[in-house]
Amino acid sequence: MKKFSELIYTPTNLNQNLLNRLRENDKSLVRIIFSSRNLGSQGVHILAEALRTNTNLTALDLSSNSIGSEGAHSLCTLLQHQTMIASGNNVDGGGIKTLILGDNNLRDEGMKAIADALENSLIENLWIDDNCIGALGFAVLAGVLQKNSVLKRLHLRHNSFQSLSPLITCTFNKQSLNSVADSNHTLKHVFLNCGYSYECDELASVLKINRTLGKVEARRRKLALFLEEDLVRLMQIDMDPKLLPRLLSILTQHGNISTMLCVMQNLSSEVLSFQRVQDEINSCLGDPMEFEYLSL
């Protein structure tokens, strides 16, 4: 087996020999560092075309190449095409999983292009530091990540947005029970520069849930936290009362016991008679549950 260092290729320029090797899916080209090679948008477009059918390259460093929004659009097309190939082969196939785009003047327009690719992408690790990404681009990114279950690591240092609120909402959307369940439960690491005060602590606590629990358990934990924040919500949920024991089971496993006692004191005797309605609950669960995320 080759050593990790032997799998990293650092070309001095974008030459025809390299492009041919990429087109031919050269198995020795697994990780390429193309940092500070003055590629520009045109060079990235040429490189993206050569990579369209490549399934062996897994990591690509294009930092400090001034690719701008135009180069970002070329990369978006490439990433979408690679995802389509992997889906067509019905495998967790090859393709770029680590993409480093720091210091490329992407701005909001370029961020929108990368976000489009992330809607359905193989990317697990993304560097977009130092790209003048403002509030608009950051909001677009966060909106897409709420539906993304692949990206695990995101580097966002030294950009122009002032608040982490969109990303916090993406990972723990407290608008409703459904929005909590539909939040991102798989993003594990976000790297930021200092300056976001309490928002950093809030985001860190949510990411810790994602990091230490699996997707299903992270979702259940957030549901429990959501219900604990305002117990009145538990009484106002528009759903069949026979499903409430399922909610209670979530709180039992992940919630606060004192909170549980307080909740149960306010439940009707009919709902608390769990054994009496167990058969009806099992019957209800015979079909796909409307609230799938409440199932045990």
Within 8 A by CB and 6+ apart from 212, the residues are none
Q: Which pLDDT score, from 0 to 100, does residue 186 have? A: 96
**Which residues, including other chains, have CB under 8 Å from residue 111's CB and lie 6 or more apart?**
72, 128, 131, 133, 137, 138, 140, 141
Q: Is 214 exposed, middle or buried (0-12, 13-18, 19+ CB in 10 A)?
A: exposed
Strand 189-191 to 153-155 pairing: parallel
Is 209 within 8 Å of 229 (Cβ atoms)?
no
What pLDDT, on the 0 to 100 scale, is given for residue 4?
Answer: 41
Q: Return d(Cα 179, Cα 49) in angstroms, integer.
A: 38
CB 155 within 8 A of CB 126: yes
* Residues lower than pLDDT 70 in the chain: 1-7, 88-93, 194-198, 230-244, 247-248, 250-296
68-88 helix and 107-118 helix, angle to the nearest 10 degrees: 0
Q: Which helix (H) or strand (E) holds 290?
A: none
The pLDDT, as a whole number, for residue 257 is 54
